[in-house]
């Protein structure tokens, strides 16, 4: 799932119940996990889970479209030079030559359309640069920026929070945190997924505790939490090229060996991220959400990119 929310109705599972999270019970020590866009006494805004890796699918699509486009250009060049500019060509097979060129063009157009549609569907192209969510502790509401230009609004006290398995490969499970909006006690109407995932259950619980403690105890309870040195500088604006590169490599930066092994891939993914950046627009919250999230004058707990150290604003 590439978007933050999923509207597929389903039954509440036994796993949902076994891994449920209480908004009133402390778990681990809080950790912001580098996912905060901004925080104040009114709301906490976090980024979606795909933000750090955004650009991978764009690279594949751009490379594929480019490859087919080059093949089409070569076909057109060959038709002109090898046939129409060739004085020895007698035009006896002109219909088959034109049919081949037309067929090549149709295939190229179909491939381009398919990749553009797919990347738009998963939110990489012609959508938004990221898909934020807000946790408003004043009105106890959760606002989630959907991929379809609408906003999910759900009462914090009514959401069923739980851990889920985001993915599983080669025996390694990646866990994430999700909120379930229930239609009735047994039926999930909509699900939204938090922007942090890990193979470690404890790490997921630490991120959950950061959000839970903010909502239940206030910003003063998490202002010094680890992983909250910087706010992501993407609130109401596009990331700079440097910030995009930093977001892309940050996941592997802790491991000096993996960092260098992944460098060639990161360079390629960065090309895809640039395509995503150019084709996407910055998400802006609707006026009613902004009105509900109005910050009090003189708020001492305002944290956003303007409070970051120089060089990352």
**How far out from the chain centre does Cα 102 lie?**
38
Residues sharing a CB contact under 8 Å with residue 283, sequence separation 6 or more, in sequence order: 128, 129, 130, 131, 132, 145
The secondary element (H helix, E strand) that includes residue 94 is: helix 94-121
Question: DSSP state, 281?
Answer: B
Average pLDDT over residues 188-210: 94
Q: Are residues 88 and 201 in the same domain?
A: no
Range of the structural domain that residue 117 is part of: 58-121
pLDDT value of residue 53 = 81
Residue where one domain finishes, among candidates 121, 154, 170: 121
CA distance 73 to 78: 9
Average pLDDT over residues 29-47: 96
Average pLDDT over residues 135-149: 94
Residue where one domain finishes, among candidates 121, 138, 173: 121
Q: Are residues 84 and 196 in the same domain?
A: no
Q: Are residues 93 and 173 in the same domain?
A: no
Q: Are residues 115 and 148 in the same domain?
A: no
pLDDT value of residue 160 = 98
Q: What is the DSSP string of 124-160?
A: SSSSBS---EEEETTTTEEEEE-TTS-EEEEETTT-E
Q: Are residues 22 and 75 in the same domain?
A: no
Summary mean pLDDT of the chain: 92
Q: Are residues 180 and 31 in the same domain?
A: yes
Q: Are residues 10 and 48 in the same domain?
A: yes
The secondary element (H helix, E strand) that includes residue 14 is: helix 14-18
In a domain, 313, yes or no: no
pLDDT value of residue 43 = 98
- Look up the pTM and report it: 0.88
CA distance 303 to 233: 11
**SS3 string of 179-233?**
EEEEEECCEEEEEEEEEEEECCHHHHHHHHHHHHHHHHHCHHHCCCCCCCCCCCC
pLDDT interval class at 39 (50, 70, 90): very high
pLDDT value of residue 1 = 46
Identify whether the C-beta of residue 68 lies closer than 8 Å to the C-beta of residue 112: yes
Q: Are residues 172 and 277 in the same domain?
A: yes
pLDDT value of residue 115 = 94
Q: Are residues 236 and 141 in the same domain?
A: yes
User: Interior CA angle at 174 toward 169 and 177, to 5°?
Assistant: 150
Question: How many domains, in total, are found in the chain?
Answer: 2
Average pLDDT over residues 60-89: 93
User: Interior CA angle at 224 toward 51 and 131, to 5°?
Assistant: 20
Q: Are residues 134 and 279 in the same domain?
A: yes
Q: What is the DSSP string of 28-63?
A: S----TT-EEEE-SSEEEE--TTGGGTTHHHHHHHH
Q: What is the pLDDT of residues 209-260, one digit of tens each?
A: 999 999 999 999 999 999 998 899 999 999 988 888 888 887 776 677 888 8
Q: Are residues 90 and 164 in the same domain?
A: no
CA distance 171 to 177: 20
Identify whether the C-beta of residue 283 lies closer than 8 Å to the C-beta of residue 130: yes
The secondary element (H helix, E strand) that includes residue 174 is: strand 172-184
């Amino acid at each position: 799932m590439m978007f933050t929310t999923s509207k597929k109705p389903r039954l509440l599972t036994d796993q949902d119940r076994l891994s449920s999270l209480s908004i009133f019970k402390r778990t681990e020590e809080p950790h912001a996990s580098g996912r905060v866009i901004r925080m104040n006494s009114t709301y906490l805004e976090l980024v979606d889970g795909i933000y750090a890796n955004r650009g991978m699918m764009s690279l594949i699509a751009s490379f594929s479209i480019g490859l087919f486009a080059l093949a089409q250009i070569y076909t057109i060049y060959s038709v002109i030079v090898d046939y129409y500019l060739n004085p020895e060509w007698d035009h006896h097979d002109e219909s088959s030559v034109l049919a081949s060129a037309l067929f090549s063009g149709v295939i190229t157009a179909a491939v381009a359309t398919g990749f553009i549609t797919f990347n738009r569907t998963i939110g990489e192209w012609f959508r938004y640069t990221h898909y934020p969510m807000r946790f408003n502790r004043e009105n106890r509401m959760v606002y989630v920026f959907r991929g379809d230009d609408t906003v999910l609004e759900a009462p914090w006290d009514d959401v069923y929070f739980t851990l889920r398995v985001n993915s599983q490969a080669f025996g390694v499970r990646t866990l994430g945190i999700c909120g379930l909006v229930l239609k009735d006690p047994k039926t999930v109407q909509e699900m939204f997924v938090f922007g942090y995932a890990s193979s470690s259950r404890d790490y997921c619980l630490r991120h959950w505790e950061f959000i839970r403690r903010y909502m239940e105890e206030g910003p003063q309870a998490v202002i010094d939490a680890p992983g909250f040195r910087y706010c992501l500088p993407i609130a109401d604006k596009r990331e700079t090229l440097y910030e995009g590169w930093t977001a892309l490599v940050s996941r592997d930066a802790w491991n000096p060996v993996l960092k260098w092994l992944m460098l060639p891939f990161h360079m390629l993914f960065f090309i895809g991220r640039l395509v995503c950046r150019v084709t996407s627009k910055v998400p802006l919250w609707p006026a009613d959400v902004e009105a509900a999230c109005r910050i009090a004058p003189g708020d001492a707990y305002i944290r956003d990119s303007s409070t970051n150290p120089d060089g990352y604003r």
